[in-house]
Amino acid sequence: DGDRISGALGYWRESGRFVLYKAKAVVVATGGIGMAYKITSNSWEYTADGMALAYRAGAELIDMEFVQFHPTGMIWPPGVMGILVTEGVRGDGGLLKNNKGERFMFNYIPDMFRSETAETEEEVNRWLAGDKSARRTPDLLTRDVVARAILNEVKEGRGSEHGGAYLDISHKPAEYVKRKLPSMYMQFMELADVDITQQAMEVGPTTHYIMGGVRVEGKTTAATVPGLFAAGEAAGGLHGSNRLGGNSLSDLLVFGRLAGLAAAGYAKDLSTAPTVDSEEVDRAAAEVLAPFERSDGEDPFQIHRELRDHMQDNVGIIRDAEGLERGLEGLRGFKERVDRVRATGSRLFNPGWHLCADL
């Protein structure tokens, strides 16, 4: 309604039936962009839909280049690629090693962390044993540092069998591992047939979180479009260029509440309700249904696979101008292909159609 938000249009995944939400205020809380990458800890919902909708409605985005890669995700077998391996493994004694058995993180301590980071295996062992005078293990440096270190080891030919690093806690007693890390023990046993009390885990960087998102006002989470609010990973600017571990939950609790309060207050203070443009609704619905109208066209699943490979190869942890230019040019080609994407079957719980909309 002019420059104001008047609601949102969606559809039920089970039935394909459209549903129109007339609202004075809308809160975007749709998470991040992980499914744009080949290796991710994110589930299928994380396709940047909320950010894209906000942008198309006129909102500003911020810090979209800042993507966090968690250093330790499962990398084998392929079906479990990206599932997180908690930092608690390293905190409880897990050691990162390359294919030569070297504890390589000693070679990657940034100057800014050198005074607080152990520089020898002996000091790490004392820290793990609870010695307050010992400094923290380099295996627990910030996520960006550890992720780049693992990638560099792989690049230099010292990576694990499937292109990562080894995370080894088998030097600890089996009962200790099972007691301290029961979920990790079961995760590897059931998903990878690896007994972490006897064998090293194979881990590698996985796309985990985006620090960017919708630009919001800090005290109210209001976007630059009246009536639009954003919170959580969908909002940008809170974490700078690299979120610290654990801060996402605090973010959700604090700014999720602020967003709800601010949206309710905004709606209450409006003297008149915004009007939904029925023609705009019809156009949006027709755009979503367009893939069904095409007699031939691109397969959404194939496009998505290629897109994720493209992003992983060109817009990953380590970037350069050449790769970014190649990435941008490739995205132009993907956009043309998405305009020809085709859906088959009916609207009843149709994953292919859903993916067409996500793309």
Catalytic residues: 70, 90
List, in order, residues 6 or more apart from 136 with CB less than 8 Å away. 116, 117, 118, 127
Q: How far is CA 123 from CA 93, 119, 137, 191, 336, in A?
A: 13, 7, 8, 34, 56
Q: Record the tokens describing residue 277, joined without a space.
A: 């443009």
46-80 burial, b at 16+ Cβ within 10 Å, e below that, comes to: bbbbbbebbbebebebbbeebbbbbbbbbbbeeee
Whether omega for the bond prior to residue 77 falls within 30 degrees of 0, making it cis, is yes
Round to whole Å and give the CA distance between 217 and 59. Answer: 12
Round to whole Å and give the CA distance between 158 and 76. Answer: 17
Beta bridge partners of 298: 341
